[in-house]
């Protein structure tokens, strides 16, 4: 067989034990000075490069390491600093960088949203009419030179392409997209030219927007962009990298003036492979073949991967094939070697970032030599054992479900619920979680290590619940929560209480900024066990005469924020989870809890990247949510919550969920949703988040009052709720109390204005 190279498209930045996260938070907290912070960040970068170097892959990515987010790095490098940060940027670039990410006094943070359909959040670039990009800094050149100087690595710099950068930006009207993309071309020419002059061989330019709906006229724009870059830097070997699905207009994309194209052969549904099988591959272009799943945590099926290679190899010229993961390994943990507990069959089936690189090297070796590989034979045996696992063959996980009577229309339910709860206009509530302070985290660690018993741990949790029930009452909040002090994570917590889940010891991935999560693993059929939330919620309700919401995580979010099995359709897994959650919903109602919140922040984020596939997805996603709350009484008020997505795109689906109240994150994009609701009013109860809980800045009551006023322009007062954007788990107690005090004051002022207006 012909020689085949291997590459990584990107690699986790957080470190095996979240060293990156801890360093960031130490710096933000003033415990590490700037000089030490930057020096230690360099140490982490070098350590990361050494791991990549030791893996044996041929092309090592550089420039994908960041102090917060890669899209934010591009905005800063291109000089696209929003006006509200301009003064700070002129004084201190690093302070301005973190202010854009986290906010500063009088300057709200940049909008944050999900990176395509992944669980990673990026900072949305902002353009104005006066935005004029220029290369104020070349961080990719800095990263390339550092790798070369420190370790002798000739890395493959990774840039986000101009088309994708603009497509993912805000402040650009549809007609101005081409203008903004072309305005970036000189910037990319300069960055690429400097990299070539420094000795870069290949330069990876990521254009994942090519797997979304791409208007036909954008193909000519792409041709113009890459013709100009190639003409200005003819020595550059450009790899146009795509991922997360099949490429739109692949036949035309293949003809773009680049030296190679990277395609995803894992999440393409077979479309990319079929297109190449049908029409071949250009003899002058390298194919970056993404055959190892960059987003899943299971070992690669060697026979399936080698079968794909066999097909691709017959269409690609000798020496023109590079084996890669399907996308950056940012989305998986660093190494499965640290996993030493839990079901042996399950954890033996894992392949995290380091193992995926090993798999690529093994696949390349087999492809070249034709000899068997012990490494890949181990994969075959591990995957066969996993498929035979009894947890994957539970009779009680049948997809059938009892048909329950539909609830009455919302207006009838609203009257019944208002008579029951007697809430004031603009009722106030929080999303669910309250600050998890060091004492709670310490108690949880002590409990897990056996240093304190179950009874003592529950006593600590109840004391914290009692404290916060009292605080919520003193603040004047109308609908209370128990605080979720027993929960480490809104998905992991419930996974521990359901069958079919496995939990890693160190399977951390980055969610946004320094926020890391440890997604549970759905490896088997999901079924209910005992009560999950009833005792905690009933205890909280016993402390107050105000309603306390029962709090659950919905089936789509449980699916989306877990690493899931890949042998079943996602819809089937979602309905398994929905049936298990419905058991708990009915338990809560039976226990006297009259408000139950089933959160679905992930509903929009895992929608297919092509709009033509939305109808099918939203059909089963909404169906799973409705199944999870089916059978409740009309007087029981069902809440849900969503965050960080373009809600206006799915308003019909949100209505179809038919929750009595939905709370939405809107502080970073409030105007867009208000305009959407003006055009397409929402009929049920709705709370538009009045402040951003991810920023340490506490807005005053007048600022929140302004948000409420704008919401009242599109939502009648009898249906508008007042709440923060998201849960408060990560905020400090003093900060949370101050913000909630301002929120209830703003609601009170708004009620006074309503009374005067009558």
- Model confidence pLDDT, tens digit, residues 387-418: 999 999 887 776 545 546 689 999 999 999 99
State residue 269's pLDDT score.
93
pLDDT value at 521 more than 80: yes
Domain boundary among 282, 316, 333: 282
Q: What tokens does 80 get?
A: 């696209």
Using CA atoms, how far residue 248 sits from 211, 282, 361, 558, 657, in Å, is: 6, 17, 30, 30, 31
State residue 688's pLDDT score.
84
Query: Does residue 458 form part of some domain?
Result: no
Do 242 and 254 form a contact (C-beta atoms < 8 A)? no
CATH number, domain of 494, equals 3.20.20.210
State residue 405's pLDDT score.
67
Q: How confident is the model at residue 644 (pLDDT cuts 50, 70, 90)?
A: low
Query: Does residue 54 form part of some domain?
Result: yes
pLDDT value at 456 more than 80: yes
Q: Are strands 661-664 and 637-642 parallel, antiparallel or unpaired?
A: parallel
Helix axes 217-232, 177-197, angle to 10 degrees: 30
Nearest to 7 by CA among 62, 47, 45, 61: 61
User: Which residues fall in the annotated binding site for L-homocysteine?
Assistant: 431-433, 484, 599
Average pLDDT over residues 377-395: 94
Domain housing 675: 431-436+476-757
State residue 406's pLDDT score.
83
Query: Does residue 642 form part of some domain?
Result: yes
In terms of pLDDT, which residue wins out, 673 or 712? 712
User: Which residues fall in the annotated binding site for Zn(2+)?
Assistant: 641, 643, 665, 726
State residue 645's pLDDT score.
58
Query: Does residue 264 form part of some domain?
Result: yes
Total residue count of the chain as it appears in this document: 758
Query: Does residue 739 form part of some domain?
Result: yes
Q: What is the pLDDT of residues 100-149, one digit of tens each?
A: 999 998 899 999 888 999 999 999 999 988 889 999 999 999 999 999 99
Average pLDDT over residues 587-593: 97
Average pLDDT over residues 485-506: 92
Average pLDDT over residues 159-185: 94
Told to judge if 121 belongs to the known catalytic residues of this protein, a careful annotator would answer no
Average pLDDT over residues 423-448: 92
Q: How confident is the model at residue 643 (pLDDT cuts 50, 70, 90)?
A: confident
Domain boundary among 282, 304, 322: 282
Do 161 and 240 form a contact (C-beta atoms < 8 A)? yes
Domain boundary among 242, 260, 282: 282
pLDDT value at 669 more than 70: no
Please give the mean pLDDT across all residues of the chain.
93
Do 715 and 677 form a contact (C-beta atoms < 8 A)? yes
Burial environment of residue 283 by CB neighbours within 10 A (0 to 12, 13 to 18, 19 or more)? exposed
pLDDT value at 647 more than 70: no
User: Which residues fall in the annotated binding site for 5-methyltetrahydropteroyltri-L-glutamate?
Assistant: 18-21, 114, 119, 515-516, 561, 605
Q: What tokens does 382 get?
A: 């591990």
Query: Structural domain tally of the chain?
Result: 2
User: pTM above the 0.85 mark?
Assistant: yes
- Bridge partners of residue 112, in order along the sequence: 123
State residue 575's pLDDT score.
96
Measured CA to CA, the distance from residue 10 to residue 159 in angstroms comes to: 11
State residue 1's pLDDT score.
54
Query: Does residue 537 form part of some domain?
Result: yes
Average pLDDT over residues 236-264: 97
Give the range with max mean pLDDT: 649-653, 655-659, 728-732. Answer: 655-659
Residue 489 CA, chain-centre distance (Å), reads 14
State residue 680's pLDDT score.
80
User: Which residues fall in the annotated binding site?
Assistant: 18-21, 114, 119, 431-433, 484, 515-516, 561, 599, 605, 641, 643, 665, 726
Do 503 and 496 form a contact (C-beta atoms < 8 A)? yes
pLDDT value at 670 more than 70: no
Q: What is the pLDDT of residues 336-362, one digit of tens each?
A: 999 999 999 999 999 999 999 999 999
Query: Does residue 112 form part of some domain?
Result: yes
For the chain, percent of residues with pLDDT exceeding 90: 83
Query: Does residue 182 form part of some domain?
Result: yes
User: Which residues fall in the annotated binding site for L-methionine?
Assistant: 431-433, 484, 599
Q: Which of 351-365, 393-407, 612-626, 712-726 has the lowest mean pLDDT?
A: 393-407
Average pLDDT over residues 368-386: 95
Catalytic residue selected from 121, 482, 502, 694: 694
pLDDT value at 671 more than 70: no
Do 103 and 149 form a contact (C-beta atoms < 8 A)? no
State residue 758's pLDDT score.
62
């Amino acid at each position: 067989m012909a020689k085949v190279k291997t590459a990584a498209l990107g690699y986790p930045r957080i470190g095996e034990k979240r060293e990156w996260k801890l360093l960031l938070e130490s710096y933000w907290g003033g415990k590490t000075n700037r000089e030490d912070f930057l020096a230690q960040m360099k140490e982490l970068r070098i350590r990361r490069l050494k791991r990549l170097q030791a893996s044996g892959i041929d092309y090592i990515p550089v420039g994908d390491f960041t102090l917060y987010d890669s899209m934010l790095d591009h905005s800063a490098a291109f000089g696209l600093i929003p006006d509200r940060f301009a003064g700070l940027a002129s004084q201190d670039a690093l302070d301005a960088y973190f202010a854009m990410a986290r906010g500063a006094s009088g300057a709200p943070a940049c909008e944050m949203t999900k990176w395509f359909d992944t669980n990673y959040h990026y900072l949305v670039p902002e353009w104005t009419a006066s935005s004029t990009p220029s290369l104020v800094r070349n961080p990719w050149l800095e990263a390339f030179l550092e790798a070369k100087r420190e370790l002798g690595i000739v890395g493959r710099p990774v840039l986000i392409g101009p088309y994708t950068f603009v497509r993912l930006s805000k402040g650009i009207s549809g007609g101005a997209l081409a203008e903004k993309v072309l305005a970036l071309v000189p910037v990319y020419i300069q960055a690429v030219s400097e990299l070539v002059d420094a000795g870069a061989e290949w330069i990876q330019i990521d254009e994942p927007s090519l797997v979304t709906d791409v208007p036909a006229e954008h193909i000519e724009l792409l041709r113009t962009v890459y013709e100009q870059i190639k003409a200005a830097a003819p020595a550059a070997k450009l790899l146009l990298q795509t991922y997360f699905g099949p490429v739109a207009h692949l036949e035309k994309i293949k003809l773009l003036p680049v030296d190679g194209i990277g395609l995803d052969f894992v999440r393409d549904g077979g479309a990319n492979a079929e297109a190449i099988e049908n029409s071949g591959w250009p003899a002058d272009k390298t194919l970056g073949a993404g055959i190892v799943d960059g987003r899943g945590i299971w070992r690669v099926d060697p026979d399936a991967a080698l079968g794909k290679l066999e097909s691709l190899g017959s269409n690609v010229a000798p020496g023109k094939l590079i084996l890669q993961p399907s996308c950056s390994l940012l989305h998986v943990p660093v190494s499965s070697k640290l996993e030493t507990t839990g079901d042996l069959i399950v954890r033996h089936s894992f392949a995290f970032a380091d193992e995926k690189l090993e798999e690529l090297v093994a696949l390349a070796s087999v492809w070249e030599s034709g000899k068997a590989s012990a490494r890949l034979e181990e994969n075959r045996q591990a995957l066969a054992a996993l498929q035979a696992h009894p947890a994957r063959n539970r009779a009680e996980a049948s997809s059938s479900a009892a048909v329950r009577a539909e609830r009455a229309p919302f207006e009838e339910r609203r009257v019944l619920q208002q008579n029951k709860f007697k809430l004031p206009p603009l009722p106030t509530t929080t999303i669910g979680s309250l600050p998890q302070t060091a004492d709670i985290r310490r108690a949880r660690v002590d409990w897990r290590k056996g240093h304190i018993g179950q009874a003592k741990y529950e006593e600590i949790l109840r004391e914290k619940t009692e404290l916060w029930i009292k605080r919520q009452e003193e603040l004047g909040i109308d609908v209370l929560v128990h605080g979720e002090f027993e929960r480490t994570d809104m998905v992991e917590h419930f996974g521990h209480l359901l069958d079919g889940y496995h939990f890693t010891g160190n399977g951390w991935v980055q969610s946004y900024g320094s926020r890391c999560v440890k997604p549970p693993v759905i490896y088997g059929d999901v079924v209910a066990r005992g009560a999950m939330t009833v005792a905690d919620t009933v205890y909280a309700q016993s402390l107050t005469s105000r309603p306390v919401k029962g709090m659950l995580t919905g089936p789509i979010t449980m699916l989306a924020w877990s690493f899931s099995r890949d042998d079943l359709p996602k819809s089937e897994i979602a309905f398994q989870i929905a049936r298990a959650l419905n058991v708990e919903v009915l338990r809560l109602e039976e226990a006297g809890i009259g408000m139950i919140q089933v959160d679905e922040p992930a509903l929009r984020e895992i929608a297919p990247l092509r709009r033509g596939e939305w109808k099918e997805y939203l059909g089963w996603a909404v169906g799973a949510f409705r199944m999870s709350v089916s059978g409740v009484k009309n007087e029981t008020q069902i809440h849900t919550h969503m965050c960080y997505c373009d809600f206006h795109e799915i308003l019909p689906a949100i209505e179809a969920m038919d929750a009595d109240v939905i709370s939405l994150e809107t502080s970073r994009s409030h105007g867009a949703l208000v305009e959407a609701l003006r055009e397409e009013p929402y009929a049920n109860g709705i709370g538009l988040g009045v402040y951003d809980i991810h920023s340490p800045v506490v807005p005053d009551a007048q600022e929140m009052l302004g948000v409420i006023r704008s919401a009242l322009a599109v939502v009648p007062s009898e249906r508008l709720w007042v709440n923060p954007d998201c849960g408060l788990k990560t905020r400090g107690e003093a900060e949370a109390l101050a913000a909630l005090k301002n929120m209830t004051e703003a609601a009170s002022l708004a009620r006074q204005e309503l009374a005067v207006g009558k």
